[in-house]
Chain A
């Protein structure tokens, strides 16, 4: 698992209050991790907070947030938008 993946897993576990060993890239946010739409929006805000830096702001739009189904979707989005 990459460092980015590990950081995402840690935040997902913390935000959704699930044990981190239950969170994998394949985990479905709603079905596997018992999140609802409010949790997903709150999670994307926490990820923006974690991955934004002075050099680069990470923005996950509401439209993008609505498309997030799995932990992998979050990881892919962050990788494609240059999060480090």
Chain B
């Protein structure tokens, strides 16, 4: 059961700001200010300009973390508060931390490599390794909140934090923990991060129109917008949630994971690997295609992804595909890579709980290869009995989580 949501995103920190801006169709894409991007091919990103780590941890702790870990801790604290969870009342040895990431501390590696090259080996920081290590996503959450069950950070590129929720469900079902802090984090809007993604032609180059740059499923889409942020949710067993009278946003019904075994960056053009993950999530979640009302799409805005994802949804849902609402939060938030899946899970859980589906903005020019109902430009009030959440990563890692409504 998802009982708490903690978003640190380009369109808002905390559930209220995040949800309001998501449903109002506000874009978080802006000109890059983290460094001088004037000579870069891509000069826009979706950053979190108002993130103040010291609101969520003491200054000393903040200094010993890279930004991706700071954001994970902030998201976990927000989720704890949103869940109304008093950690003094739970057995902390039965609480897991499952926070995945795509790139971990790539930006810290870049900074320290510069120190090594310019000033020699003696000037590489003593905190370099424990700051850049990807596992600090879950371990810093564990340390700051005192969680002593399993602490796990895995990586599956852009599907990373879809995998978090599947992992956490299994940990709780297996009996290793009763409650888990689950999500993803990513913060690598740096020269190295932007240059690498830009040179592989993954990113939109609409530098003169930041808010219009991320246009999933639109005929004029030209790549995704790199984003940063962390989203962590509180997930607990039904018994644990009921015992403390918690509000339940949605139930994690199941998940599907597959690999394309195809290409470094491109999905299988027929979407068959993604379709198998969709069918796997339906099966694991005990759902028939007709039970699903909404898909929170991977929807990156790259020419290849959106067409392949559309084919995958057709393949898995048959005639019901046309009756689904399918939207991409990335049209507003950009692509948060390792935390993108968790952002989508949060959006879908809120959609189920509140009966409101966020839109896909910037959808203006039809693409014959993208022929589903993408909830264009305006959010839609509708009951959502069950939702699937997609995340597909470079390397062909596909993940889908199934969420269901819990009637109180």
Q: Which size class do A's interface residues fall under?
A: 10 to 19
Interface contact B59-A17, CB-CB below 8 Å: yes
Residues of chain A within 8 A of B62, CB atoms compared = 17
Q: Which chain B residue has the least Cβ–Cβ distance from A43?
A: B126
A5 close to chain B: CB less than 8 A: no
Interface contact B125-A42, CB-CB below 8 Å: yes
Q: Which of B60, B124, B126 contacts A16 (CB 8 A)?
A: B60
- Given contacts A38-B127, A42-B127, A48 and B60 within 8 Å (CB-CB): no
Chain A: minimal CB distance from B59 (Å): 4
Within 8 A of B (CB), among A30-78: 34, 38-39, 41-42, 45, 48-49, 59
Interface contact A49-B126, CB-CB below 8 Å: no
Residues of chain A within 8 A of B242, CB atoms compared = none
Q: Which chain A residue has the least Cβ–Cβ distance from B130?
A: A38
Task: Please report the C-alpha to C-alpha distance between residue A59 and residue B119 in the assembled complex, in whole angstroms.
Answer: 12
Residues of chain A within 8 A of B354, CB atoms compared = none
B201 close to chain A: CB less than 8 A: no
Task: Please report the C-alpha to C-alpha distance between residue A48 and residue B120 in the assembled complex, in whole angstroms.
Answer: 12
Q: Which of B63, B123, B124, B127 contacts A17 (CB 8 A)?
A: B63
Interface contact A38-B63, CB-CB below 8 Å: no
Chain B: minimal CB distance from A34 (Å): 7
Interface contact B60-A34, CB-CB below 8 Å: yes
Interface contact A45-B123, CB-CB below 8 Å: yes
Residues of chain A within 8 A of B63, CB atoms compared = 15, 17
Which of A34, A42, A45, A48 counts the most chain B CB atoms within 10 A?
A: A45
Q: Which of B59, B122, B130 contacts A59 (CB 8 A)?
A: B122
- Given contacts A16-B60, A17-B60, A48 and B127 within 8 Å (CB-CB): no
Q: Which chain B residue has the least Cβ–Cβ distance from A41?
A: B126
Chain B: minimal CB distance from A78 (Å): 16
Within 8 A of A (CB), among B91-135: 119, 122-127, 130
Interface contact A49-B123, CB-CB below 8 Å: yes
Residues of chain A within 8 A of B123, CB atoms compared = 45, 48-49
Q: Mark A1-24, 1 if CB is under 8 A from B, else 0.
A: 000000000000001111000000
Contacts A38-B64, A41-B126, A45-B123 known; list 9 others, CB within 8 Å.
Answer: A16-B60, A17-B63, A18-B60, A34-B60, A38-B126, A45-B122, A45-B126, A49-B119, A49-B123
A-B contact list, 6 entries, CB within 8 Å: A16-B60, A42-B125, A42-B126, A45-B123, A45-B125, A49-B123
